[in-house]
Amino acid sequence: MNASSLVAEVRSGQRTARQVLEEHLARIASQDIELGAFNLVLTDEARSQADAVDAAIASGEPAGPLAGVPVALKDNLCTRGIPTTCSSRMLQHWRPPYDATVVQRLRAAGAVIVGKTNLDEFAMGSSTENSAFGPTRNPHDLSRVPGGSSGGSAAAVAAGFSPLALGSDTGGSIRQPAALCGVVGLKPTYGRVSRYGLVAFASSLDQIGPIAANVTDAATCFEVISGHDPRDSTSLESAAESVTAGLQHGVEGLRVGLLAELCGESVRVKQAGLQSVGLSGIAPDVISQLDQAADVLEAAGATVSVVSVPSVVLGLSAYYLIAPAEASSNLARYDGVRYGLRVDAANAAEMNIESRTAGFGAEVKRRIMLGTYALSAGYYDAYYGKALRVRTLMLREFTNAYADVDLLLCPTTPTTAFELGAKTADPLLMYLNDVCTIPSNLTGHPAVSVPFGVGDDGLPVGVQLMGPALSEPVLLRTAAVLEDAAAAAQAAL
């Protein structure tokens, strides 16, 4: 059952928050042994929260917009007194002394935090296979990955363990697993959701957002967690606005651009003569669903055209210099002294080396070394400085594109979910999974992935809508049109 229906039942007294919670806990207990979506299930804490919601409703107090809704948290969001591991040995036993702002806002809205979900270590990965505690599996096919790095959160929603979950998105880590698991994932405008209490990976790229079973629930959760936070220096001071109110307003008159560089095999792109500019590797079955999504939007009253943003082809290279460079700086704090894992040694230098060697996994070490190299004397301008210039170019070109269209449409992922272990031996092949999602992180713009049909293998396909800064209301009402069309097509089968 979706979050909106649960809230209605809990508010009306048809069911209690405790009853709702127990149903979800039973499902987790019986099925998560196979999926591995959770690092920690907060059974006792969740029951206390659910009972508090029921007591508040019984006494006539106002019920929050997420009253009684179980919510899963990616395990890089701080929870006071509760382990926050980032799926790393380095933080395996760390208990933060404070809650992340988004956690505080969820609880104030009546949500029940049901557990902490698995992720690629320190959010570095695209398949949730880099976790120190084992991989998460895709609920649609246990031999496939759920995507990453928020794979645990996406799998939890897809499996019905919780109607809502939070993830973090640095290069696509909300949208990519949402697409592979057949759920909705929203990366908000950078600064629209507070990062206070998010364990940092790449601070200029990280953003927290919702993963949900449907667009309405994602919009409701976004309203709850967004808004200015003085504890986050990058938090936007723009006034909060409703995104749920306009979800059914449709797309009449909207201008949608099919992003040529990511849709080279699309029928429309070929007709425009721009297929030669596209990146290779987008599967034909994904492009087929994308073309159908464009047809749906056009039939609903939108104008669909083909748009070129040439710098998109440079996004992957720029990202894998900027993100590791920031990670190299952010992860320097894990030194065996201040907090986290410590491995004793003969002196401080050896202790630092031994602690980091034991605490970090292979992918984290790879990115730290890459980032440190890119920032080192003699290489800064050649690598990191050049990547920053590409980022500026990309922002300029996207801004120009949005002068002609309101939104851009493209795939979320190049393929449907791939098999566990298929890409772990080739980091570059794994990194290519982020090629469609990275641009929105580099620009700071919002984007949403919405399920739209299935591929040739019967697994979910996600299509991505990208928009300019603060365009979440338009993105989500457009996603709602695609969602309704996909549901109608499924019902007709």
SS3 labels along the chain: CCHHHHHHHHHHCCCCHHHHHHHHHHHHHHHHHHHCCEEEECHHHHHHHHHHHHHHHHCCCCCCCCCCCEEEEECCECECCECCCCCCHHHCCCCCCCCCHHHHHHHHCCCEEEEEECCCHHHCCCCCCCCCCCCCCECCECCECCCCCCHHHHHHHHCCCCCEEEEECCCCCCHHHHHHHCCEEEECCCCCECCCCECCCCCCCCCEEEEECCHHHHHHHHHHHECCCCCCCCCCCCCCCCCCCCCCCCCCCCEEEEEHHHCCCCHHHHHCCCHHHCCCCCCHHHHHHHHHHHHHHHHCCCEEEEECCHHHHHHHHHHHHHHHHHHHHHHHHCCCCCCCCCCCCCCHHHHHHHHHHHHCCHHHHHHHHHHHHHHCCCCHHHHHHHHHHHHHHHHHHHHHHCCCCCEEEEECCCCCCCECCCCCCCHHHHHHHHCCCHHHHHHCCCEEEEEEEECCCCCEEEEEEECCCCCHHHHHHHHHHHHHHHHHHHHHC
* Domain finish residue from 332, 352, 383: 383
Residue 390 located in a structural domain = no
Q: Is residue 244 part of a domain?
A: no
Domain boundary among 383, 412, 428: 383
379 assigned to some structural domain: yes
- Is the predicted pLDDT of residue 338 greater than 90, yes or no? no
Residues 194 and 87 in one domain: yes
pLDDT band, residue 278 (cuts 50/70/90)? confident
Task: Give yes or no: residues 157 and 206 share one domain.
Answer: yes
Total domain count for the chain?
3
Confidence of residue 477 (pLDDT cuts 50, 70, 90): very high
pLDDT at position 276: 84
| 448 has pLDDT over 80 | yes
In whole numbers, what is the pLDDT of the chain averaged over residues? 96
Shared domain check, 289 and 155: no
Provide the residue range defining the domain that includes 367. 316-383
Supply the CATH number for residue 155's domain. Answer: 3.90.1300.10
pLDDT band at residue 291 using 50, 70 and 90 as cut-offs: very high
> In this structure, are 429 and 328 located in the same domain?
no
Assessment of whether the complete model's pTM goes beyond 0.85: yes
Residue 239: pLDDT over 80: no
Say if residue 105 is in the same domain as residue 189. Answer: yes
Residues 120, 20 share a domain: yes
- pLDDT score, position 411: 98
Residue 177 and residue 76 share a domain: yes
| 240 pLDDT above the threshold of 80 | no
Do 85 and 139 share a domain, yes or no?
A: yes
pLDDT of res. 192: 97
Residue 230 belongs to a domain: no
Q: What percent of the chain has pLDDT over 70?
A: 100
The answer to whether position 234 is within a domain reads no
Co-location of 32 and 168 in the same domain: yes
Q: Among the three residues 206, 225, 244, which one is the final residue of a domain in this structure?
A: 225
Average pLDDT over residues 404-408: 98
Query: What pLDDT score was predicted for residue 163?
Result: 98
Whether 440 shows a pLDDT value over 80: the answer reads: yes
Q: 282 and 340 in one domain?
A: no
What is the pLDDT confidence band of residue 185, given thresholds at 50, 70 and 90?
very high
In this structure, the answer to whether residues 88 and 133 fall within a common structural domain is yes
Residues 471 and 348 in one domain: no
pLDDT number for residue 320 = 96
Quickly state the pLDDT bin for 95 (edges 50, 70, 90): very high
Inside any domain, residue 134: yes
Model confidence at 339: pLDDT above 90: no
Q: What is the pLDDT of residue 493?
A: 78
In a domain, 280, yes or no: yes
Residue 388 confidence (pLDDT) above 90:
yes
Does any domain span residue 245? no
Segment 187-198 shows an average pLDDT of 98
What positions carry a catalytic annotation? Answer: 74, 149, 173
Percentage, residues of the chain above pLDDT 90:
95
